């Protein structure tokens, strides 16, 4: 597959309308896995030509939705299995496009494999697949569209935004999710849960960018390094590191994993009092081979 040119970030500044709320982060997020913006919204600062050239040498995959299609011009890219017409769609974003995923609880048209989710996945894209021995950087921008924030007394759930997923019906190795008013990094089997953004409410309807560096190992020599770049920040800040851990750890036999992004709302329901409809936008999903850097 021909790797696409690195996509420039070209969003304009937007505005947040939420007031930061106190963060209470406790408990764990249960996972039931098989397991952009419109004009006027902003994403990370535009890269220089020099930095784009340097990145292109190591980028394996760049899903930038520049052509406005759901698969970003990559035939092997899996798009949503939810059947609702607006479960996934592209929309204008700066000078080009981003992708949106929408889930409405209680409506089977917004379900995939029996769960409330709408996601895109690189399970059939060789550059989006990982194996033991790989060392990868995963980077993506996400916007929480008109997100209803968490208030004390609301039911606690997690809306999964990005996964490093073990194939074969396994739990993910890791995921990032919106939980309460935080963006958390979680590894279900290793029982890590870290607040990467402690309060995202100032950034609702703005672009946030995340980076996860992983050494994929089937013994305790791997690592996760999680960074973020928030609106107004000029570069990435390392938020959390887990070293000397086993990062490739499927419970059922499998030889590979893959990345997926969108919106997955495990264990949420209308009856449980959860927000009925959520929408997220994604753009600039990159996979980089760290071994070449």
pLDDT of res. 2: 39
Query: In this model, does residue 33 exceed pLDDT 90?
Result: no
Distances (CA, A) of 16 to 145, 255, 262: 11, 43, 22
Mean pLDDT of 258-278: 97
More confident residue, 151 or 39: 151
| 177 token code pair | 């999710």
Query: In this model, does residue 89 exceed pLDDT 80?
Result: yes
Query: In this model, does residue 11 exceed pLDDT 60?
Result: no
Hey, which residues does 187 pair with through a beta bridge? 192
pLDDT of res. 34: 37
Distances (CA, A) of 150 to 25, 91, 179, 202, 266: 12, 27, 8, 13, 17
pLDDT tens-place string over residues 107-155: 999 999 999 999 999 999 999 999 999 999 999 999 999 999 999 999 9
Phi, psi at 54, each rounded to 5°: -65, -40
> pTM of the entire structure?
0.82
pLDDT of res. 291: 86
Query: In this model, does residue 31 exceed pLDDT 60?
Result: no
CA angle (281 as vertex; 88, 159 as ends), nearest 5: 90
Residue 58 banded pLDDT, cuts 50, 70, 90: low
Instruction: Detail the DSSP E strand segments found in the chain.
Output: 59-63, 88-93, 96-104, 111-112, 115-121, 129-130, 135-144, 158-166, 172-179, 182-187, 192-197, 207-215, 222-229, 237-245, 257-264, 277-289
As a 3-state breakdown, the chain gives helix, strand, coil percent values, each rounded to 5, of 5, 40, 55
With CA atoms as reference, report the closest residue to 260 among 133, 156, 134, 121.
121
């Amino acid at each position: 597959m021909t790797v696409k040119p690195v996509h420039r970030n070209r969003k304009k500044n937007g505005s947040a309308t939420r007031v930061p709320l106190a963060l209470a982060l406790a408990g764990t997020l249960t996972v039931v896995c098989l397991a952009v913006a419109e004009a006027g919204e902003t994403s990370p600062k535009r890269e220089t030509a020099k930095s784009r050239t340097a990145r292109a040498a190591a980028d394996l995959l760049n899903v930038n939705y520049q052509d406005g299609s759901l698969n970003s011009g990559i035939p092997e890219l899996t798009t949503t299995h939810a059947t609702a017409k607006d479960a996934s769609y592209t929309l204008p974003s700066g000078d080009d496009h981003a992708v949106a995923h929408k889930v409405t609880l209680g409506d089977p048209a917004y379900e995939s494999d029996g769960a409330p989710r709408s996601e895109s996945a690189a399970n059939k894209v060789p550059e989006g697949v990982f194996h033991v021995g790989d060392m990868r950087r995963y980077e993506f921008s996400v916007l929480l569209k008109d997100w209803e924030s968490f208030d004390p007394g609301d039911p606690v759930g997690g809306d999964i935004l990005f996964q490093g997923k073990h194939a074969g019906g396994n739990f993910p190795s890791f995921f990032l999710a919106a939980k309460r008013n935080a963006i958390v990094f979680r590894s279900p089997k290793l029982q890590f849960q870290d607040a990467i953004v402690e309060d995202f409410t100032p950034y609702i309807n703005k672009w946030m960018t995340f980076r996860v560096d992983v050494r994929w190992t089937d013994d305790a020599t791997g690592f996760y390094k999680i960074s973020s770049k928030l609106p107004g920040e000029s570069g990435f800040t390392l938020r959390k590191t887990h070293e000397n851990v086993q990062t490739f750890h499927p419970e059922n036999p499998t030889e590979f994993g893959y990345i997926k992004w969108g919106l997955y709302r495990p264990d949420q329901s209308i009856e449980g009092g959860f927000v009925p409809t959520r929408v997220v936008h994604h753009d600039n999903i990159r996979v980089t081979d760290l071994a070449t850097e």
